[in-house]
Amino acid sequence: MARAEALLDPLHAVLLNRDRVIVRDMGCGTGSMGRWLAARLPGPQHWVLYDRDAALLEVATVTGVAADSTPVTFETRLGELTGLRAEDLAGTSLVTASALLDLLTAEEVDGLAAACAGAGCPALLTLSVSGEVEFTQAEPLDAEFEAAFNDHQRRDGRLGPDAIRAATEAFERRGMRVAGRPSPWRLGPQQAALTGQWLRGWVAAACEQRPELADEAPGYLRRRLAETGGEVVVGHTDLLAIEEPA
């Protein structure tokens, strides 16, 4: 996984010269976003890690120091990740989320944009599924499994690969400037175990969405797992939303 570091320069400019940077990380998991980002931004910083999974919060951490060697501290909070309002973000310097945007509904994405815009708070939303999968050696069934998986991502009203467009439009409607950069997963021979795990899940979700693919799935999966020396590129996108300069 590779987040888009090109988005950090404009974010750094927004956060520079603040007495304290307060970051709210939504759906933090074990805190990987903070561990990646804290050392790349100025400080001092305080991270508030939100997740609805208490077990993940028990091990969630953000450690180290900021880019200017000032301290980084954190706390954890158990709770819902949606329904934020502008007043909830009072004093917040940045909202972050990783691999979360595509799990939200259009209403939830719109609410997130409204809260950030109302509070004048930037948002860095990384590793959102964009829907494209590329194999080194393409075959006709790739497109069918890709389309079925993308439809599976959209179940129950979730946006799935449409989240990037929806979020961009929601922030821009509220006068914020949005920049997007690709952040693809590149799974090569060195990540064979991870590639196999991802591929099995990808095919299973596609078949759940379109049961007619089940007859083709075993052979397709066998061929894909047998490939050596190739690479799978799984499309993701990072977004940065900041206030337009006055």
- Distance spanning both ends of the chain, measured CA to CA: 35
Q: Which domains does the chain have, with CATH numbers?
A: 5-243 (3.40.50.150)
CA 183/CA 168 separation, integer angstroms: 16
| pLDDT (tens place) for every residue of the chain, 246 residues total | 578 899 999 999 999 889 999 999 999 999 999 999 999 999 999 999 999 999 999 999 998 899 999 999 999 999 877 778 999 999 999 999 999 999 999 999 999 999 999 999 999 999 999 999 999 999 999 999 999 999 999 999 999 999 999 999 999 999 999 999 999 999 998 999 999 999 999 999 999 999 999 999 999 999 999 987 889 999 999 999 999 765
- In 10 A of CB 18, how many CB atoms? 13
Query: Omega into 44 within 30° of 0, i.e. cis?
Result: yes
Tell me the whole-structure pTM to 2 decimals: 0.93
Tokens 């109302």: give the residue. Answer: 118
- Record the tokens describing residue 216, joined without a space: 């083709």
